[in-house]
């Protein structure tokens, strides 16, 4: 998921603050800490923006944030996950101000709170991952086989936690890990988790994406991560998740999503082609002329591409605040927007 | 059959009778042994006994230390749930009483020491007098968090829920109750409901939330150590001041009793909204709630009931229900959903046939065969879990699945007290196994020795197979149960 | 019910008719107009019946008792104390033994005999299934036509008491009985075997069997095949030769269509059982038993879960047999099917019939198992000889089914059941005991036949290739 976003893009021009570039801040944050997720990095970047700005009034600040957010979103090819963070931040600021009556002192208090606790937010985001892991591991029972994909850190944390919970490193569950073909740039994605799990004594099979349907019959549940959890309770996740969900559904296997609640994003896709981003997953051509084109970019594209898994395929969303049914997501999101 | 053997056989009636007179501690022991020996079983008797017992426990409690009171209730609850983890109604009631204490304390705080409540709280929403008069919803609490069990440190939440941080709560006070059904209008807006999304930003003053491992919460778990709880309860205690809250708590417990008492009636009150004329309704086993529901509908409408006999565990109760409208007192044959209480009084229950309803008794195997003509399936339940799934007597799964195959709606009747905040991580754990000689009598059968005879008593029915829940609060989609759970239990109490 | 009085009126025979008079009773022309041939045939039948009765009457009572069906004791108890009256009942019933219609309820008759003032009868038929209630099953032979062959008489009882149960067993038993029938048959003068045997001699046997229990699809198929065979017999062929060829044909039919077919099917099906499999089966199918035993004999290591149901508990016999052969067996009832299916890796079931639209018609409860297995993506494999294939189609289990006597549901006497025994007197209360259900084709992964393994959708194709059986 996230790490691929750290690839350096063209130095973006932002009109946020004179000597401060929110996009490069965002990217360097992601690059410096592999454990950081996109929404949290975005929040951090906005906190930095706030810190570097001299805006003193509420409207100035909000305008600044809007500009910075737009800059971030336009600089990243897939800003869905990121926007979960920026939206949350903005909403938090807005609702805090509204509730305090919007006086200047209140605003200063909020601002100070945000500025002085930047690291704490990051810390909490990571803690919520641990929380999910310690909680979600109860889904992984002895003797069961889990199918997962991608490089989701929280899924990895969950599985490691489940392995640790088993007595004396003798984990009694198995994992089928869907990985990219070795030649593709995303090949290493998830391999770290696979390695860690194997070290802990968990039997892990790595299979290609083409083998998902084949392996589904022998797994007891599917656990995936998500880039964003959308309003209808569906998820945006790396390409291939949707088909896993469909296969799991058709074979009667539970399909769990693991996601921190800061990945909840206020969007409502109607389907695969309504994600608000440009993806060249399906590229019709009449000639072979671009065979010579460096393959890297193409593969890169498919490694970062996402799809939408609708809520009816999801059995439950494991967040740090409990297991939500997809129907509960909407309420969570409604609450921060009112 | 002996009609009023209640005084002889140990069970709910004898327990309730002695409860008034015997010392609390021995009552607790008695209840534990009754639970262990399954002499009190099934959700309703268990809920009733637990409520009555806790009433005694609270009344008996000396001193004004709220933390100690809660610790006491919790401790009793741990012992009870450990005695019979599958009777989840016990834990449900304990959690509700704990929540009740919290609620009373919070109300008192606001009333007595407004200074204690932090800036962000909006006074009107905390109005004590908002407490609705309806017994059914009186014990709903502030919705804390969605979802089911969540093992975050109680301390953290506690601090937040008592309003130590400002911004989070500021926001929550604008949270609009209308989102929730009317029965939850009591939901307190100062709850840290929003922390699940805004939690990232909340003030650092909260006690370190770092991963206190809080064990899993599948129902058969053992009680955990609760060192961390002490903290929250100390906080609570500070807030509670010295006011005697016992009277309020006792009043609240009595309201839970009222709710238990009226639950069946209230559910039956919705019957006409769900059963139309000439309908063919399929029911299963023996349940007072379902019987009452159908009888209520029968007063106004003519319909046909297909009754699945639920062999081998509940068929005798089923026969009795079909013939007399109620279970035979004294037969504790199986997993029948809710036993009658002490009173053998009622003329309330009469057989449906005498109300002019034609009843067709079928064996369990014929469920699929007849389902194509059934308009509606009405199931009773043992426990409803937070994800919308349910535990019911065995055979319910067959019925629900067959109904799904025929696109027949499945309606589940359940009192709110059966709704558990626990999440079914492992549905196998929830299933109780019964006497295998019911399946295959030992006397006859040469092959019994070499055969493994299995007699599960419960089925787990997943949420996807249920179309509608009818509780004493009304009808709900299974996807909405998370909200009702959140309304009735404090997240701190989920792990007893 | 009213039928009783309606019947007794035309006979006009007073109750005192003693055994020798019975022939008179039957000789009275039934309401139906009879053709000359039929009259002739009837005389013949009388002769036969007399012979049969002479043969049977001493031992009949004794031989009928042992297979004690639930209703038998009642029968005998109502009969023995008042032998005078008891003798009447058979006679009256006999009089309307005419091939088709006869619908008086043995139960009603009995109650009217014992209790002089019968209560107003309550409707005890489930409305939805009203079309399926035929005559009540026969549990005795005393009122059977005299031309019914003793082997068929005995078989009928065994069928109505479920002593011979299962589509295959009944089909084979019927064919064997028909062999005796044919063996003892002599063509009456003035007609030919091909013309006479089927309509005048075999048909009453079949009707008698039907009155004991509705016949299975396989029996129907076999009867059609046999009739077809008889009709094609050259009238010039000497009778004994024709009979011999018929008997030989029946033998080879049993061999090819059932015995050999079963061997082939169990070979194919057992090869689908792998080490570590957990095989789930429902009720009892002889072919599934054979398959499991074969796989076990081949050294495959697997476990079996037998799911069983009221009221016949056929699965228990299967389970016991498997245990005897050293298999690892778990036994569940149908209500716990969801638990059993969770553990299973494959489901094997037998069939009563495969319908032309690919649906499976089998013991009631099979559809539940198949549904649950399908839901968990566990393959459902049907073992079925082609003799059970039928061109009939079915969408649900209600249009076509067999309704067995409701009392059977209460057969497993247990204390506490007392009350429900009064169901007959309780208004608005009905008991429903259907025998079969129809499993949708999409729940079935594979049908193993002697022609190989096919998807359920290929049932009609097989039927086409078989031609008419």
Phi, psi of A170 (to 5 degrees): -105, 70
C-chain residues within 8 Å CB-CB of B372?
A: 396-398
Asked if residue C365 and residue C288 are part of one domain, the reply reads: yes
Which pLDDT band, with edges at 50, 70 and 90, does A281 fall under? confident
Nearest by CB to residue C367, choosing from B322, B354, B368, is B368
Helix, strand, or coil (residue C363): strand
A-chain residues within 8 Å CB-CB of B201?
A: 89, 92, 113-114, 117, 121
Asked if residue C384 and residue C409 are part of one domain, the reply reads: yes
Identify the residue with better confidence: B166 or B109: B109
C-chain residues within 8 Å CB-CB of A217?
A: 377
- Provide the pLDDT for residue B110: 62
- Provide the pLDDT for residue C74: 40
**Within 13 A of B483's CA, how many CA atoms are on the CB side?**
23
Q: Is the residue at C462 inside a domain?
A: yes
Residue B219 has pLDDT above 50, yes or no: no
In whole angstroms, what is the distance from residue C370 CA to residue C338 CA? 11
CATH number at A6-116: 1.20.120
Residue C459 has pLDDT above 80, yes or no: yes
Asked if residue C432 and residue C386 are part of one domain, the reply reads: yes
Phi, psi of C145 (to 5 degrees): -60, 155
Residue A35 has pLDDT above 60, yes or no: yes
**Contact A145/A173 with Cβ under 8 angstroms?**
yes
Identify the residue with better confidence: C67 or C327: C327
Angle at C160 between CA C156 and CA C162, to 5 degrees: 115
Portion of chain B with pLDDT greater than 90, in percent:
34
Nearest by CB to residue B359, choosing from C338, C372, C429, is C429
**Contact B475/B131 with Cβ under 8 angstroms?**
no
In whole angstroms, what is the distance from residue A134 CA to residue B215 CA? 8
Asked if residue C179 and residue C326 are part of one domain, the reply reads: no
Nearest by CB to residue B204, choosing from A92, A117, A331, is A117
For chain A, which residues make up each domain, given as ranges? 6-116, 128-337
Q: How far is B317 from chain C (nearest CA, A)?
A: 9
B-chain residues within 8 Å CB-CB of C333?
A: 311-312, 364, 439, 455
Residue A162 has pLDDT above 80, yes or no: yes
pLDDT tens profile C135-190: 777 777 777 777 889 999 999 999 988 899 989 999 999 999 999 999 988 888 88
Residue B379 has pLDDT above 90, yes or no: yes
- What is the number of CB-based contacts under 8 A between chain A and chain B? 141
C428·B439 Cβ contact <8 A: no
Structure tokens, C210: 């039907």
Residue B341 has pLDDT above 80, yes or no: no
Residue A24 has pLDDT above 60, yes or no: yes
* Minimal-distance CA residue of chain B relative to C326: B450
Residue C96 has pLDDT above 50, yes or no: no
Identify the residue with better confidence: C170 or A325: C170
Asked if residue C291 and residue C167 are part of one domain, the reply reads: no
Can you give the length of chain C in residues? 469
* Minimal-distance CA residue of chain B relative to A129: B211
Whether residue A272 has a cis bond before it, omega within 30° of 0: no
- Taking the Cβ of residue C274 and every Cβ of chain A, the question of whether any pair is shorter than 8 Å is answered with no
**pLDDT (average), residues C189-199:** 86
Cβ atoms < 10 Å from Cβ of C437? 30
Q: Which of A332-336, C111-115, C169-173, C409-413 has the highest mean pLDDT?
A: C169-173
Of C230, C261, C292, the position where a domain reaches its end is C261
- Taking the Cβ of residue C392 and every Cβ of chain A, the question of whether any pair is shorter than 8 Å is answered with no
Phi, psi of A123 (to 5 degrees): -60, -45
Asked if residue C299 and residue C232 are part of one domain, the reply reads: no
Residue C362, H or E segment = strand C360-363
**pLDDT (average), residues C203-218:** 91
Q: What is the mean pLDDT of chain B?
A: 73
A-chain residues within 8 Å CB-CB of B151?
A: 131, 134-135
Helix, strand, or coil (residue A317): strand
Which pLDDT band, with edges at 50, 70 and 90, does A302 fall under? low
Residue B7 has pLDDT above 60, yes or no: no
Structure tokens, C101: 């219609």
* Minimal-distance CA residue of chain B relative to A142: B426
**pLDDT (average), residues C340-351:** 94
- Which alpha helices (H) appear in B214-337, and where do they start and end? 227-240, 246-268, 271-274, 288-300, 315-324
Supply the CATH number for residue C382's domain: 3.40.50.10470
- Could you tell me the CA-to-CA distances from C229 to B316, C188, C198, C242 in Å, in that order? 53, 19, 10, 10
* Minimal-distance CA residue of chain C relative to A216: C377
Q: How far is A118 from chain B (nearest CA, A)?
A: 9
Interface of A with B in 38-77 (CB under 8 A): 40, 43
Asked if residue C277 and residue C256 are part of one domain, the reply reads: no
Nearest by CB to residue A316, choosing from B152, B170, B387, is B387
List the domain range (segments joined by +) for residue C327: 271-466
**Contact C139/C69 with Cβ under 8 angstroms?**
yes
Cβ atoms < 10 Å from Cβ of C424? 15
Helix, strand, or coil (residue B283): strand
Residue A206 has pLDDT above 50, yes or no: yes
Identify the residue with better confidence: B206 or A329: A329
Residue C415 has pLDDT above 70, yes or no: no
- Taking the Cβ of residue A328 and every Cβ of chain B, the question of whether any pair is shorter than 8 Å is answered with yes
Residue B376, strand partner residues:
B281
The architecture CATH gives domain A128-337: 3-Layer(aba) Sandwich (3.40)
Residue C20 has pLDDT above 70, yes or no: no
B-chain residues within 8 Å CB-CB of A96?
A: 167, 170-171
The 10 Å CB-count burial string (b at 16+, else e) for B328-350 is bbbbbbbbbbbbbbbeeeeeebe
Of C236, C261, C286, the position where a domain reaches its end is C261
Domains in chain B with CATH codes: 8-108+231-260 (1.20.120.420), 269-493 (3.40.50.10470)
Q: Tell whether the torsion through CA atoms of C408, C411, C417 and C422 is positive or negative.
A: positive
Closest of A36, A34, A9 to residue A24, by C-alpha = A9
**Contact A258/A152 with Cβ under 8 angstroms?**
yes
- Could you tell me the CA-to-CA distances from C150 to C40, C55, C57, C64, C92 in Å, in that order? 22, 9, 11, 12, 21
A-chain residues within 8 Å CB-CB of C375?
A: 252
**pLDDT (average), residues C26-44:** 49
Supply the CATH number for residue C235's domain: 1.20.120
B319·C319 Cβ contact <8 A: no
Which pLDDT band, with edges at 50, 70 and 90, does C7 fall under? very low
Any chains having at least 3 CB pairs less than 8 A from chain A are B, C
Nearest by CB to residue C330, choosing from B331, B356, B452, is B452
In whole angstroms, what is the distance from residue B385 CA to residue B419 CA? 6
Longest dimension (CA), chain A: 64
DSSP string, C267-315: HHHHTT--TT-EEEEES--HHHHHHHHHHHHTT---EEEEEE-TTT-HH
Q: pTM here?
A: 0.77
- Provide the pLDDT for residue C70: 41
**Contact B260/B48 with Cβ under 8 angstroms?**
yes
Residue B247 has pLDDT above 60, yes or no: yes
B454·C339 Cβ contact <8 A: yes
- What is the number of CB-based contacts under 8 A between chain A and chain C? 5
Identify the residue with better confidence: C168 or A185: C168
Which pLDDT band, with edges at 50, 70 and 90, does A139 fall under? confident
**pLDDT (average), residues C296-320:** 93
Q: Going by C-beta distance under 8 Å and a sequence separation of 6 or more, which residues neighbour residue A230?
A: A236, A265, A266, A267, A268, A269, A308, A329
Asked if residue C348 and residue C241 are part of one domain, the reply reads: no
Portion of chain C with pLDDT greater than 90, in percent:
46
A-chain residues within 8 Å CB-CB of C374?
A: none
Q: Is the residue at C58 inside a domain?
A: no
Q: How far is A254 from chain C (nearest CA, A)?
A: 11
Best mutation target, A214, A218, A252, A254, to test chain C (most C CBs within 10 A): A252
In whole angstroms, what is the distance from residue C278 CA to residue C256 CA? 31
* Minimal-distance CA residue of chain B relative to C437: B369
pLDDT tens profile C417-450: 666 777 888 888 889 999 999 999 999 999 999 9
Identify the residue with better confidence: B133 or B101: B101
Which pLDDT band, with edges at 50, 70 and 90, does A331 fall under? confident
Q: Is the residue at C112 inside a domain?
A: no
**pLDDT (average), residues B461-469:** 92
- Taking the Cβ of residue A92 and every Cβ of chain B, the question of whether any pair is shorter than 8 Å is answered with yes
**pLDDT (average), residues A131-145:** 85
In whole angstroms, what is the distance from residue A174 CA to residue A31 CA? 32
- Provide the pLDDT for residue A135: 80
- Taking the Cβ of residue A110 and every Cβ of chain B, the question of whether any pair is shorter than 8 Å is answered with yes
Residue A238 has pLDDT above 50, yes or no: yes
Asked if residue C353 and residue C292 are part of one domain, the reply reads: yes
Interface of C with A in 360-389 (CB under 8 A): 375-377
Angle at B423 between CA B420 and CA B424, to 5 degrees: 110
In whole angstroms, what is the distance from residue C135 CA to residue C138 CA? 8
Nearest by CB to residue B204, choosing from A120, A138, A333, is A120
Torsion of CA C266, C267, C272, C278, to 10 degrees: 50
A-chain residues within 8 Å CB-CB of B176?
A: 338
Asked if residue C282 and residue C235 are part of one domain, the reply reads: no
Q: What is the mean pLDDT of chain A?
A: 81
Asked if residue C254 and residue C280 are part of one domain, the reply reads: no
In whole angstroms, what is the distance from residue A92 CA to residue B196 CA? 12
- Provide the pLDDT for residue A229: 92
Nearest by CB to residue B147, choosing from A100, A138, A324, is A324
**Contact C375/C367 with Cβ under 8 angstroms?**
no
In whole angstroms, what is the distance from residue C305 CA to residue A74 CA? 60
- Provide the pLDDT for residue B422: 84
- Provide the pLDDT for residue C193: 87
B147·A120 Cβ contact <8 A: no
Which pLDDT band, with edges at 50, 70 and 90, does B377 fall under? very high
Query: Where is average pLDDT lowest: A44-53, A63-72, C94-103, C393-402?
Result: C94-103
Interface of C with B in 146-165 (CB under 8 A): none
- Provide the pLDDT for residue C427: 86
Domain count, chain C: 2
Task: Calculate the CA B416 to chain-centre distance.
Answer: 5
Best mutation target, C127, C282, C336, C367, to test chain B (most B CBs within 10 A): C336
**Contact C366/C443 with Cβ under 8 angstroms?**
no
Which pLDDT band, with edges at 50, 70 and 90, does A93 fall under? confident
**pLDDT (average), residues B433-457:** 78
**pLDDT (average), residues C60-71:** 40
Closest of C9, C110, C95, C82 to residue C49, by C-alpha = C95
Phi, psi of A250 (to 5 degrees): -70, -20
C331·B454 Cβ contact <8 A: yes
In whole angstroms, what is the distance from residue A94 CA to residue A74 CA? 23
Pairing of strands C446-449, C452-454: antiparallel
Identify the residue with better confidence: C353 or A90: C353
**pLDDT (average), residues C233-258:** 91
Q: What is the mean pLDDT of chain C?
A: 77
In whole angstroms, what is the distance from residue A139 CA to residue A159 CA? 10
Asked if residue C444 and residue C386 are part of one domain, the reply reads: yes
Structure tokens, B7: 């005084």
* Minimal-distance CA residue of chain A relative to B217: A138
Q: Going by C-beta distance under 8 Å and a sequence separation of 6 or more, which residues neighbour residue B25?
A: none
In whole angstroms, what is the distance from residue B381 CA to residue B460 CA? 10
- Provide the pLDDT for residue C469: 44
- Provide the pLDDT for residue B14: 85
In whole angstroms, what is the distance from residue C88 CA to residue C13 CA? 10
Identify the residue with better confidence: B330 or A105: A105
């Amino acid at each position: 998921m996230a790490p691929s976003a750290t690839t350096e893009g063209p130095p973006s021009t932002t009109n946020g603050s004179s000597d401060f570039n929110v996009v490069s801040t965002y990217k360097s944050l992601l690059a410096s800490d592999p454990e950081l997720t996109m929404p949290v990095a975005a929040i951090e970047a906005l906190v930095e923006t706030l810190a570097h700005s001299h805006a003193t009034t509420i409207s100035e600040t909000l305008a600044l944030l809007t500009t910075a957010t737009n800059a971030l979103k336009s600089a990243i090819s897939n800003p869905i996950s990121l926007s979960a963070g920026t939206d949350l931040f903005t909403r938090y600021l807005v609702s805090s101000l509204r509730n305090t009556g919007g006086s200047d002192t209140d605003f200063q208090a909020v601002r100070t709170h945000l500025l002085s606790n930047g690291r704490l937010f990051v810390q909490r985001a990571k803690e919520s991952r641990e929380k999910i892991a310690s909680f979600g591991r109860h889904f992984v029972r002895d003797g069961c086989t889990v199918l997962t994909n991608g490089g989701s850190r929280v899924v990895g944390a969950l599985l490691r936690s489940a392995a640790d919970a088993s007595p004396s490193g003798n984990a009694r569950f198995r994992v089928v890990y869907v990985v990219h073909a070795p030649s593709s740039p995303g090949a290493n994605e998830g391999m770290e988790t696979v390695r860690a799990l194997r070290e802990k004594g968990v039997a892990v099979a790595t299979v290609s994406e083409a083998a998902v349907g084949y392996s589904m019959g022998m797994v007891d549940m599917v656990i995936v991560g998500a880039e964003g959890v959308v309003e209808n309770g569906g998820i945006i996740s790396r390409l291939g998740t949707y088909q896993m969900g469909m296969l799991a559904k058709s074979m009667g296997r539970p399909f769990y999503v693991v996601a921190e609640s800061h990945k909840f994003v206020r969007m409502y896709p109607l389907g695969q082609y309504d994600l608000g981003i440009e993806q060249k997953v399906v590229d019709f051509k009449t000639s072979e002329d671009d065979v010579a084109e460096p393959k890297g970019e193409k593969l890169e594209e498919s490694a970062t591409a996402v799809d939408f898994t609708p809520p009816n395929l999801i059995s439950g969303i494991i967040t740090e605040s409990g297991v939500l049914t997809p129907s509960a997501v909407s309420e969570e999101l409604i609450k921060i927007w009112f | 059959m002996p009609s009023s053997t209640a005084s002889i056989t140990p069970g709910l009636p004898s327990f309730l009778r002695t409860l008034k007179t015997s010392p609390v501690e021995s009552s607790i022991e008695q209840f534990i042994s009754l639970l262990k020996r399954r002499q009190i079983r099934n959700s309703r008797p268990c809920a009733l006994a637990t409520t009555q017992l806790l009433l005694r426990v609270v009344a008996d409690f000396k001193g004004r230390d709220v933390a100690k009171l809660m610790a006491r209730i919790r401790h009793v609850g741990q012992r009870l749930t450990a005695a019979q983890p599958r009777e989840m109604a016990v834990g449900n009631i304990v959690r509700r009483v704990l929540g009740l204490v919290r609620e009373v304390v919070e109300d008192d705080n606001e009333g007595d020491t407004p200074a204690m409540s932090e800036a962000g709280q909006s006074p009107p929403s905390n109005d004590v007098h908002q407490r609705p008069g309806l017994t059914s919803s009186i014990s709903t609490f502030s919705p804390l968090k969605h979802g089911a069990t969540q093992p975050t440190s109680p301390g953290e939440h506690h601090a937040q829920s008592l309003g130590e941080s400002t911004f989070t709560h500021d926001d929550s006070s604008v949270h609009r109750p209308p989102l929730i059904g009317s029965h939850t209008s009591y939901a307190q807006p100062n709850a840290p409901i929003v922390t699940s999304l805004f939690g990232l930003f909340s003030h650092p003053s909260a006690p370190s939330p770092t991963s206190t491992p809080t064990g899993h919460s599948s129902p058969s778990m053992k009680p955990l150590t609760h060192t961390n709880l002490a903290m929250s309860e100390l906080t609570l205690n500070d807030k509670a001041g010295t006011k005697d809250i016992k009277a309020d708590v006792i009043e609240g417990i009595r309201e839970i009793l009222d709710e238990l008492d009226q639950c069946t009636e209230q559910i039956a009150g919705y019957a006409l909204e769900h059963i139309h004329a000439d309908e063919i309704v399929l029911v299963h086993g023996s349940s007072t709630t379902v019987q009452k529901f159908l009888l209520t509908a029968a007063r106004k409408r003519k319909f046909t009931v297909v009754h699945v006999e639920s062999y081998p565990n509940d068929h005798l109760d089923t026969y009795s229900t079909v013939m007399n409208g109620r279970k035979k007192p004294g037969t504790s044959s199986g997993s029948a959903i809710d036993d009658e209480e002490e009173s053998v009084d009622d003329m309330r229950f009469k057989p449906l046939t005498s109300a002019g309803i034609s009843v067709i008794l079928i064996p369990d195997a014929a469920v699929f065969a007849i389902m194509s003509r059934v308009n509606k399936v009405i199931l009773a339940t043992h426990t409803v879990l937070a994800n919308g799934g349910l535990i019911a007597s065995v055979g319910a799964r067959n019925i629900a699945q067959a109904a799904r195959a025929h696109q027949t709606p499945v309606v589940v009747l359940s009192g709110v007290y059966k709704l558990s905040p626990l999440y079914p991580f492992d549905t196998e754990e929830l299933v109780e196994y019964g006497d295998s000689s019911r399946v295959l009598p030992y006397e006859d059968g040469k092959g019994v020795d070499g055969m493994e005879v299995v007699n599960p008593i419960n089925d787990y029915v997943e949420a996807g197979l249920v179309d509608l829940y009818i509780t004493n609060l009304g009808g709900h989609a299974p996807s909405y149960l998370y909200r009702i759970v959140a309304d009735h239990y404090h997240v701190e109490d989920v792990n007893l | 019910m009213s039928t009783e009085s309606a019947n007794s009126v035309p006979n006009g025979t007073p109750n005192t008719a003693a055994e020798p008079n019975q022939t008179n009773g039957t000789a009275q022309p039934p309401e139906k107009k009879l053709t000359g041939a039929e009259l002739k045939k009837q005389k013949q039948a009388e002769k036969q019946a007399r012979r049969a009765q002479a043969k049977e009457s001493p031992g009949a009572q004794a031989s009928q008792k042992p297979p004690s069906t639930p209703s038998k004791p009642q029968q005998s108890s109502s009969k023995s104390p008042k032998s005078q009256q008891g003798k009447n009942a058979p006679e009256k019933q006999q009089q309307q033994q005419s091939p088709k219609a006869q619908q008086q309820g043995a139960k009603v008759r009995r109650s009217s005999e014992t209790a002089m003032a019968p209560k107003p009868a309550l409707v005890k038929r489930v409305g939805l299934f009203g079309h399926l209630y035929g005559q009540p099953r026969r549990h005795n032979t005393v009122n059977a036509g005299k031309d019914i062959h003793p082997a068929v008489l005995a078989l009928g009882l065994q069928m109505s008491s479920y002593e011979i149960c299962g589509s295959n067993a009944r089909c084979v038993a019927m064919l064997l009985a028909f062999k005796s029938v044919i063996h003892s048959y002599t063509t009456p003068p003035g007609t030919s075997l091909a013309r006479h045997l089927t309509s005048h001699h075999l048909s009453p046997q079949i009707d008698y069997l039907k009155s004991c229990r509705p016949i299975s699809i396989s029996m129907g198929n076999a009867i059609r095949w046999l009739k077809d065979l008889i009709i094609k017999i050259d009238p010039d062929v000497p009778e004994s030769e024709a009979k011999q060829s018929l008997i030989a044909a029946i033998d080879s039919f049993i061999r090819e269509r059932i015995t050999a077919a079963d061997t082939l099917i169990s070979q194919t099906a057992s090869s689908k059982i792998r080490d570590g499999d957990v095989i789930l089966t429902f009720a009892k199918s002889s072919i599934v038993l054979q398959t499991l035993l074969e796989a076990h004999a081949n050294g495959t290591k697997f476990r079996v879960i037998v799911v069983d149901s009221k009221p016949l508990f056929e699965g228990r016999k299967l389970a016991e047999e498997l245990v005897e052969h050293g298999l690892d067996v778990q036994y569940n009832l149908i209500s716990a099917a969801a638990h059993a299916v969770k553990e299973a890796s494959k489901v094997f079931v037998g069939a009563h019939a495969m319908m032309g639209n690919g649906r499976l018609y089998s013991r009631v409860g099979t559809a539940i198992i198949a549904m649950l297995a399908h839901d968990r993506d566990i393959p459902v494999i049907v073992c079925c000889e082609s003799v059970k294939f039928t061109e009939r189609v079915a969408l649900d289990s209600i249009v076509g089914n067999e309704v067995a006597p409701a009392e059977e549901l209460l057969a497993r006497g247990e204390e506490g059941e007392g009350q429900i025994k009064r169901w007959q007197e309780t208004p608005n209360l009905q008991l429903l005991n259907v025998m079969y259900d129809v499993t949708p084709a999409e729940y079935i992964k594979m049908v193993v036949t002697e022609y190989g393994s096919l998807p359920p959708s290929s049932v009609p194709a097989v039927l086409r290739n078989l031609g008419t059986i």
